[in-house]
Amino acid sequence: MLTPIQTIKKKRAEAVNRIISKGYLSTKRVYVGMATCEIAAGSKDVMDVFRQAIANGLTDVYLSQKGCAGRCNLEPTVEVVEEGKIPVKYGRVTPQRARDIVERHLKKGEIIAEWTI
């Protein structure tokens, strides 16, 4: 049986591991537009590209979805937020563009200016 202090330490360690495993402390955040109109424009496939990249070892990235941005003509949209930098919003993101964002922006730090909005 654990002592009260041991129980607290165990629960704290579990909580810290959950926070880290979900990417909440990552220095890069990727938000994929997942409102109904964005899903209709193909954002589920775009989200899958980022999920797969993380599953394949892309680290230090927190992935989440965002709601309607009111930019239907530019959907699907992806926002990349990096610690200490201005957020970058990409428009008309296809699965191939998402793969390029992973390789060029998230891995190499290159903003793909021609896709930004």
Mean per-residue pLDDT over the chain, rounded: 94
Q: Residue 106 falls within a domain, yes or no?
A: yes
Check residue 69 and give its pLDDT: 82
Check residue 100 and give its pLDDT: 98
Q: Residue 67 falls within a domain, yes or no?
A: yes
pLDDT tens readout for residues 27-41:
999 999 999 999 999
Q: Write down the pTM of the prediction.
A: 0.86
Range of the domain at 78: 26-115
Q: Residue 16 falls within a domain, yes or no?
A: no
Instruction: Kindly report the CATH number assigned to the domain that includes residue 71.
Output: 3.40.30.10
Q: Is the dihedral of CA 86, 90, 68, 32 positive or negative?
A: negative
